[in-house]
Amino acid sequence: MSVILAVTEQRDGALRKVSFEVVTAARQLADALGATVDAVVFGAGEVSGADKLGNGGADRVLTANHPDFARYCPDGQAATLAELGAAATAVVFAASATGRDLAPRAAARLGVGCASDVVGLEVQDGRIIATRPVYAGKALQKLRLSGSPAVLTVRPNTFPPSDSSKAGAVEKVTVPSFSARVHVTGIKAPEGGALDVAEAPIVVSGGRGLKEPGNFALIEALAAALGNAAVGASRAVVDVGWRDHAAQVGQTGKTVSPNLYVAVGISGAIQHLAGMRTAKVIVAINKDKDAPIFKVADYGIVGDLFEVVPRLTEEIRKLKGE
Protein backbone atom coordinates (compact mmCIF):
# COMPACT_ATOMS: atom_id res chain seq x y z
CA MET A 1 0.00 0.00 0.00
CA SER A 2 1.56 3.27 -0.98
CA VAL A 3 2.07 6.00 1.54
CA ILE A 4 1.54 9.75 1.53
CA LEU A 5 3.67 11.50 4.12
CA ALA A 6 2.15 14.53 5.81
CA VAL A 7 4.87 16.63 7.44
CA THR A 8 3.57 18.40 10.52
CA GLU A 9 5.02 21.37 12.34
CA GLN A 10 5.30 22.03 16.01
CA ARG A 11 6.33 24.99 18.05
CA ASP A 12 7.16 24.91 21.73
CA GLY A 13 5.96 21.31 21.94
CA ALA A 14 2.54 21.87 20.38
CA LEU A 15 1.41 21.00 16.89
CA ARG A 16 0.65 24.04 14.77
CA LYS A 17 -2.86 24.18 13.35
CA VAL A 18 -1.59 24.14 9.78
CA SER A 19 -0.45 20.54 10.37
CA PHE A 20 -4.07 19.40 10.16
CA GLU A 21 -4.47 21.12 6.82
CA VAL A 22 -1.43 19.20 5.58
CA VAL A 23 -2.99 15.96 6.75
CA THR A 24 -6.24 16.88 5.00
CA ALA A 25 -4.41 17.48 1.74
CA ALA A 26 -2.49 14.22 2.17
CA ARG A 27 -5.77 12.43 2.93
CA GLN A 28 -7.27 13.80 -0.28
CA LEU A 29 -4.37 12.39 -2.27
CA ALA A 30 -4.39 9.11 -0.38
CA ASP A 31 -8.09 8.56 -1.05
CA ALA A 32 -7.60 9.26 -4.74
CA LEU A 33 -4.55 7.03 -5.01
CA GLY A 34 -5.64 4.27 -2.70
CA ALA A 35 -2.86 5.03 -0.26
CA THR A 36 -2.46 5.61 3.45
CA VAL A 37 -1.39 8.73 5.25
CA ASP A 38 1.56 8.80 7.64
CA ALA A 39 1.82 12.02 9.59
CA VAL A 40 5.39 12.83 10.58
CA VAL A 41 5.91 14.63 13.87
CA PHE A 42 9.29 16.04 14.79
CA GLY A 43 9.96 16.77 18.43
CA ALA A 44 12.26 16.45 21.37
CA GLY A 45 9.58 14.77 23.45
CA GLU A 46 5.82 14.79 23.72
CA VAL A 47 4.13 16.98 21.11
CA SER A 48 0.64 18.00 22.12
CA GLY A 49 -2.02 17.64 19.48
CA ALA A 50 -0.27 14.67 17.89
CA ASP A 51 -2.95 12.43 19.31
CA LYS A 52 -5.56 14.31 17.26
CA LEU A 53 -3.87 13.55 13.95
CA GLY A 54 -5.83 10.33 13.60
CA ASN A 55 -9.08 12.30 13.76
CA GLY A 56 -7.63 14.55 11.16
CA GLY A 57 -7.15 11.69 8.72
CA ALA A 58 -3.76 10.14 9.50
CA ASP A 59 -3.56 6.35 9.44
CA ARG A 60 -0.29 6.45 11.33
CA VAL A 61 1.62 9.04 13.26
CA LEU A 62 5.37 8.64 12.92
CA THR A 63 7.22 10.40 15.69
CA ALA A 64 10.82 11.34 15.03
CA ASN A 65 12.42 12.38 18.28
CA HIS A 66 15.78 14.04 18.69
CA PRO A 67 16.99 16.63 21.20
CA ASP A 68 17.74 19.03 18.33
CA PHE A 69 14.12 18.76 17.20
CA ALA A 70 12.84 20.88 20.08
CA ARG A 71 13.28 23.62 17.52
CA TYR A 72 13.29 23.51 13.74
CA CYS A 73 16.34 21.57 12.64
CA PRO A 74 16.60 21.75 8.87
CA ASP A 75 19.45 19.29 8.36
CA GLY A 76 18.17 16.63 10.76
CA GLN A 77 14.59 16.87 9.58
CA ALA A 78 15.57 16.84 5.92
CA ALA A 79 17.72 13.79 6.54
CA THR A 80 14.84 12.03 8.30
CA LEU A 81 12.44 12.85 5.50
CA ALA A 82 14.94 11.70 2.90
CA GLU A 83 14.77 8.29 4.52
CA LEU A 84 11.03 8.17 5.18
CA GLY A 85 10.19 9.72 1.84
CA ALA A 86 12.26 7.43 -0.31
CA ALA A 87 9.52 4.82 -0.29
CA ALA A 88 6.59 7.21 -0.22
CA THR A 89 4.37 8.20 -3.12
CA ALA A 90 4.20 11.78 -2.01
CA VAL A 91 5.46 14.04 0.76
CA VAL A 92 3.24 16.98 1.68
CA PHE A 93 4.32 20.03 3.65
CA ALA A 94 2.64 23.28 4.60
CA ALA A 95 3.77 26.29 2.58
CA SER A 96 4.59 27.92 5.87
CA ALA A 97 7.89 29.60 6.64
CA THR A 98 9.24 26.30 7.94
CA GLY A 99 7.66 24.14 5.24
CA ARG A 100 9.06 26.35 2.51
CA ASP A 101 12.48 25.94 4.01
CA LEU A 102 12.28 22.20 4.62
CA ALA A 103 10.47 20.93 1.53
CA PRO A 104 13.11 21.93 -1.07
CA ARG A 105 15.86 20.41 1.07
CA ALA A 106 14.00 17.14 1.37
CA ALA A 107 13.19 17.19 -2.34
CA ALA A 108 16.81 17.76 -3.29
CA ARG A 109 17.92 14.90 -1.08
CA LEU A 110 15.27 12.71 -2.65
CA GLY A 111 16.38 13.81 -6.11
CA VAL A 112 12.99 15.14 -7.12
CA GLY A 113 11.35 18.48 -7.84
CA CYS A 114 8.93 20.26 -5.51
CA ALA A 115 5.59 21.93 -6.27
CA SER A 116 5.25 24.95 -4.00
CA ASP A 117 2.21 26.72 -2.56
CA VAL A 118 -0.35 24.34 -4.05
CA VAL A 119 -3.99 25.45 -3.93
CA GLY A 120 -5.60 22.56 -5.79
CA LEU A 121 -4.91 18.85 -6.04
CA GLU A 122 -6.22 16.10 -8.26
CA VAL A 123 -5.06 12.75 -9.45
CA GLN A 124 -5.11 11.75 -13.11
CA ASP A 125 -3.89 8.37 -14.34
CA GLY A 126 -2.20 7.77 -11.04
CA ARG A 127 -0.23 11.02 -11.17
CA ILE A 128 -0.66 14.00 -8.91
CA ILE A 129 -1.77 17.17 -10.68
CA ALA A 130 -1.14 20.29 -8.62
CA THR A 131 -2.59 23.72 -9.26
CA ARG A 132 -0.62 26.62 -7.91
CA PRO A 133 -0.60 30.39 -8.29
CA VAL A 134 2.20 32.08 -10.22
CA TYR A 135 2.95 35.71 -11.17
CA ALA A 136 1.72 36.85 -7.76
CA GLY A 137 -1.61 35.09 -8.25
CA LYS A 138 -2.25 36.61 -11.66
CA ALA A 139 -2.23 33.14 -13.21
CA LEU A 140 -2.68 29.53 -12.15
CA GLN A 141 -0.25 26.84 -13.20
CA LYS A 142 -1.19 23.16 -13.51
CA LEU A 143 1.70 20.80 -12.89
CA ARG A 144 2.08 17.07 -13.27
CA LEU A 145 4.38 15.62 -10.64
CA SER A 146 6.19 12.51 -11.73
CA GLY A 147 8.80 12.39 -9.05
CA SER A 148 9.08 9.45 -6.79
CA PRO A 149 8.04 10.68 -4.32
CA ALA A 150 6.13 13.75 -5.44
CA VAL A 151 7.00 16.59 -3.07
CA LEU A 152 4.67 19.52 -2.55
CA THR A 153 3.80 22.33 -0.16
CA VAL A 154 0.19 23.42 0.33
CA ARG A 155 -0.97 26.97 0.93
CA PRO A 156 -2.37 27.55 4.44
CA ASN A 157 -6.15 28.07 4.71
CA THR A 158 -6.75 26.23 1.45
CA PHE A 159 -7.29 22.67 2.65
CA PRO A 160 -9.53 23.17 5.65
CA PRO A 161 -9.18 20.42 8.21
CA SER A 162 -11.81 17.77 7.53
CA ASP A 163 -13.31 15.18 9.77
CA SER A 164 -12.25 11.92 8.18
CA SER A 165 -11.09 9.97 11.15
CA LYS A 166 -8.47 7.32 10.81
CA ALA A 167 -6.62 5.21 13.30
CA GLY A 168 -3.70 7.50 13.90
CA ALA A 169 -1.57 4.72 15.36
CA VAL A 170 1.63 6.11 16.79
CA GLU A 171 4.99 4.66 15.81
CA LYS A 172 8.46 5.82 16.60
CA VAL A 173 10.89 6.21 13.73
CA THR A 174 14.63 6.42 13.95
CA VAL A 175 16.27 9.65 13.11
CA PRO A 176 19.31 8.98 10.93
CA SER A 177 22.59 10.53 11.93
CA PHE A 178 23.12 13.97 10.48
CA SER A 179 25.43 16.92 10.81
CA ALA A 180 23.54 20.00 11.86
CA ARG A 181 24.92 22.68 9.60
CA VAL A 182 22.35 25.26 10.68
CA HIS A 183 21.48 25.85 14.31
CA VAL A 184 18.17 27.48 15.07
CA THR A 185 18.77 29.38 18.27
CA GLY A 186 15.33 30.64 19.12
CA ILE A 187 12.22 32.52 18.23
CA LYS A 188 11.78 36.16 19.10
CA ALA A 189 8.38 37.77 19.21
CA PRO A 190 7.93 40.44 16.58
CA GLU A 191 6.89 43.89 17.76
CA GLY A 192 3.29 43.34 18.83
CA GLY A 193 3.43 39.54 18.86
CA ALA A 194 0.18 39.32 16.94
CA LEU A 195 -1.30 36.79 14.54
CA ASP A 196 0.46 36.54 11.23
CA VAL A 197 -1.41 37.98 8.27
CA ALA A 198 -0.41 35.07 6.06
CA GLU A 199 -2.11 32.50 8.25
CA ALA A 200 -4.93 34.20 10.08
CA PRO A 201 -8.37 33.22 8.86
CA ILE A 202 -9.42 36.85 9.00
CA VAL A 203 -7.34 39.86 8.03
CA VAL A 204 -8.33 43.46 8.57
CA SER A 205 -6.09 45.83 6.69
CA GLY A 206 -5.69 49.56 6.93
CA GLY A 207 -4.40 51.98 4.33
CA ARG A 208 -3.67 55.64 3.91
CA GLY A 209 -7.32 56.48 4.42
CA LEU A 210 -6.64 56.13 8.13
CA LYS A 211 -4.68 59.39 7.91
CA GLU A 212 -2.52 58.81 10.99
CA PRO A 213 -0.71 55.85 12.48
CA GLY A 214 -2.64 56.17 15.74
CA ASN A 215 -5.89 55.47 13.90
CA PHE A 216 -4.83 51.89 13.39
CA ALA A 217 -6.42 51.44 16.80
CA LEU A 218 -9.72 51.30 14.91
CA ILE A 219 -8.43 48.41 12.83
CA GLU A 220 -7.08 46.62 15.87
CA ALA A 221 -10.40 46.97 17.65
CA LEU A 222 -12.27 45.51 14.69
CA ALA A 223 -9.77 42.65 14.43
CA ALA A 224 -10.15 41.95 18.13
CA ALA A 225 -13.94 41.94 17.84
CA LEU A 226 -13.83 39.54 14.90
CA GLY A 227 -11.46 37.24 16.75
CA ASN A 228 -8.64 35.19 15.27
CA ALA A 229 -7.90 38.14 13.00
CA ALA A 230 -4.61 39.67 12.01
CA VAL A 231 -4.00 43.32 11.25
CA GLY A 232 -2.60 43.96 7.81
CA ALA A 233 -1.41 47.08 6.08
CA SER A 234 -1.09 48.46 2.59
CA ARG A 235 2.32 49.23 1.17
CA ALA A 236 1.72 52.95 1.48
CA VAL A 237 1.49 52.88 5.24
CA VAL A 238 4.35 50.42 5.68
CA ASP A 239 6.60 52.58 3.53
CA VAL A 240 6.03 55.54 5.85
CA GLY A 241 6.67 53.39 8.88
CA TRP A 242 3.17 53.25 10.40
CA ARG A 243 3.24 49.44 10.49
CA ASP A 244 5.85 46.76 10.36
CA HIS A 245 6.74 45.18 7.05
CA ALA A 246 5.54 41.85 8.42
CA ALA A 247 2.00 43.21 8.18
CA GLN A 248 2.24 44.35 4.59
CA VAL A 249 -0.20 42.71 2.21
CA GLY A 250 0.54 43.01 -1.44
CA GLN A 251 2.91 42.30 -4.24
CA THR A 252 6.01 43.07 -2.24
CA GLY A 253 4.55 41.99 1.07
CA LYS A 254 2.58 38.93 2.02
CA THR A 255 0.16 37.06 -0.13
CA VAL A 256 -2.80 36.12 2.02
CA SER A 257 -5.73 33.81 1.51
CA PRO A 258 -7.94 34.36 4.51
CA ASN A 259 -11.57 33.48 4.70
CA LEU A 260 -12.38 37.14 5.20
CA TYR A 261 -10.36 40.16 4.15
CA VAL A 262 -11.53 43.60 5.22
CA ALA A 263 -9.87 46.51 3.43
CA VAL A 264 -10.29 49.79 5.28
CA GLY A 265 -9.23 53.01 3.65
CA ILE A 266 -7.34 51.13 0.96
CA SER A 267 -7.87 52.19 -2.63
CA GLY A 268 -7.00 48.81 -4.12
CA ALA A 269 -4.05 49.42 -6.40
CA ILE A 270 -3.06 46.42 -8.49
CA GLN A 271 -0.08 45.77 -6.24
CA HIS A 272 -2.31 45.40 -3.18
CA LEU A 273 -4.86 43.24 -4.96
CA ALA A 274 -2.09 40.81 -5.88
CA GLY A 275 -1.67 40.08 -2.20
CA MET A 276 -5.29 39.39 -1.29
CA ARG A 277 -7.32 38.61 -4.39
CA THR A 278 -7.63 34.93 -3.46
CA ALA A 279 -9.31 35.70 -0.14
CA LYS A 280 -12.63 33.93 0.04
CA VAL A 281 -14.63 37.02 0.91
CA ILE A 282 -13.49 40.59 0.50
CA VAL A 283 -15.12 43.54 2.22
CA ALA A 284 -14.13 47.09 1.35
CA ILE A 285 -14.76 50.26 3.30
CA ASN A 286 -13.75 53.43 1.50
CA LYS A 287 -15.12 56.92 1.08
CA ASP A 288 -14.37 56.93 -2.65
CA LYS A 289 -16.96 54.91 -4.51
CA ASP A 290 -14.64 54.79 -7.52
CA ALA A 291 -11.86 53.15 -5.56
CA PRO A 292 -10.66 50.08 -7.47
CA ILE A 293 -11.03 47.95 -4.35
CA PHE A 294 -14.79 47.93 -4.88
CA LYS A 295 -14.31 46.09 -8.14
CA VAL A 296 -12.93 43.07 -6.33
CA ALA A 297 -14.87 43.38 -3.11
CA ASP A 298 -17.73 41.00 -2.55
CA TYR A 299 -19.32 43.52 -0.22
CA GLY A 300 -18.59 47.19 0.10
CA ILE A 301 -19.62 50.14 2.15
CA VAL A 302 -19.01 53.60 0.77
CA GLY A 303 -18.56 55.94 3.65
CA ASP A 304 -16.32 57.60 6.15
CA LEU A 305 -14.33 54.81 7.75
CA PHE A 306 -14.13 56.78 10.97
CA GLU A 307 -17.87 56.29 11.26
CA VAL A 308 -18.30 52.93 9.60
CA VAL A 309 -15.53 50.97 11.31
CA PRO A 310 -16.52 51.72 14.90
CA ARG A 311 -20.12 50.85 14.02
CA LEU A 312 -18.98 47.59 12.44
CA THR A 313 -16.89 46.76 15.50
CA GLU A 314 -19.91 47.42 17.70
CA GLU A 315 -22.23 45.26 15.59
CA ILE A 316 -19.73 42.40 15.49
CA ARG A 317 -19.37 42.53 19.25
CA LYS A 318 -23.14 42.38 19.61
CA LEU A 319 -23.27 39.42 17.24
CA LYS A 320 -20.57 37.53 19.10
CA GLY A 321 -22.17 38.32 22.39
CA GLU A 322 -25.38 36.56 21.37
Partner 1 sequence: MKIAVCLKRVADTTTKIVIGSDGASIDETGVKFVPNPFDEFAIEAAIAVKEAAGSGETVVYSLGGDSAQETIRTALAMGIDRGVLLQGSGSPDGLEVAKALAGELKDQGFDLILFGKLAVDDYNYQVGPMTAELLGLPCITSLAHVTVADGKVEAERELEGGMETSTCQLPAVLTCDKGLNTPRLPSLKGIMAAKKKPLEVKAVDLGAGTIEILGLELPPERSAGKIVGEGPDAVPELVNLLRNEAKVI
Partner 2 sequence: MTNRFSGVDFYDMDSLLSEEERAVRDTVRTWVDENLMPVIADAYIKGEFPEALVPQMAELGFFGANLPERYGCAGLNNVAYGLIMQELERGDSGVRSFASVQGALVMYPIHQFGSDEQKDHWLPRLASGEDVGCFGLTEPDYGSNPAGLITTARQTGDGWVLNGTKMWITNGSRASVAIVWAKTGDITDASSVRGFIVPTDTPGFSARDQKGKLSLRASDTSELILEDVKVPTSALLPKSSGVKSALMCLTQARYGIAWGGIGAAMACYDEALSYAQNRIMFDRPIAQTQLQQARLAEMLTEITKAQFMTLQLGRLKDRGTMTPFQVSLAKRNNVNMAAECAREARRLLGANGILAEYGAMRHMANLESVYTYEGTHDMHTLILGQAITGLNAF
Looking at 107, 118, 218, 219, which residue binds partner 1 (CB under 8 A)? 107
Binding partner of 202, given partner 2, partner 1, none, CB within 5-8 angstroms per partner class: partner 1
Q: Contacts with partner 1 in 51-70 (CB under 8 A)? A: none
DSSP line for 208-268: GGG-SGGGHHHHHHHHHHHSSEEEEE-HHHHHTTSS-GGGBBSTTSB----SEEEEES---
- SS3 for 75-128 is HHHHHHHHHHHHCCCEEEEECCHHHHHHHHHHHHHHCCCEEEEECEEEEECCEE
Contact between 136 and 70 (Cβ < 8 Å): no
DSSP codes, 271-304: HHHHHHTT-SEEEEEES-TT-THHHH-SEEEES-
Could you give the string, one character per residue 234-273, with x where binding to partner 1 holds by CB under 8 A and - elsewhere?
Answer: -----------xx----xxx-----xx---------xx--
- The rounded distance, in Å, linking the Cα atoms of 234 and 1 is 49
Q: Which is nearer to partner 1, 114 or 168 (CB)?
A: 114
Q: Does 296 bind partner 2 (CB under 8 A)?
A: no
211 touching partner 1, by CB under 8 A: no
Count the site residues for partner 2 by CB under 8 A.
6
Q: Quick one: CA torsion of 159, 162, 166, 172, rounded to 10 degrees?
A: 50
The answer to whether residue 120 forms part of the interface with partner 2 (CB under 8 A) is no
Give dist(CA 25, CA 160) in Å, integer: 9
- The interface partner of residue 23, options being partner 1, partner 2, none and the CB cut-off 5 to 8 Å by kind, is none
Instruction: Quote the CA–CA distance of 314 and 310 in Å, as a whole number.
Output: 6
Binding of partner 2 by 269 (CB under 8 A): yes
Choose the contact partner of 269 out of partner 1, partner 2, none; CB within 5 to 8 A by kind.
partner 2
For partner 2, the closer CB: 80 or 267: 267
How far, in whole angstroms, is CA 240 from its chain's centroid? 27
Interaction with partner 2 in 222-241: which residues (CB under 8 A)?
Answer: 235-236, 239
Q: Does residue 202 interact with partner 1 by CB under 8 A? A: yes
Which partner from the list partner 2, partner 1, none does 276 bind, CB cut-off 5 to 8 Å by kind? none
Among 53, 78, 210, 221, binds partner 1 (CB under 8 A): 78
Which of 150, 233, 237, 266 binds partner 1 (CB under 8 A)? It is: 150
State the DSSP H helix or E strand holding residue 15, giving kind and residue range, or none if neither. strand 14-15
Binds partner 1 by CB under 8 A, chosen from 14, 32, 108, 170: 108
By CB under 8 A, name the binding residues for partner 2.
235-236, 239, 269, 290, 292
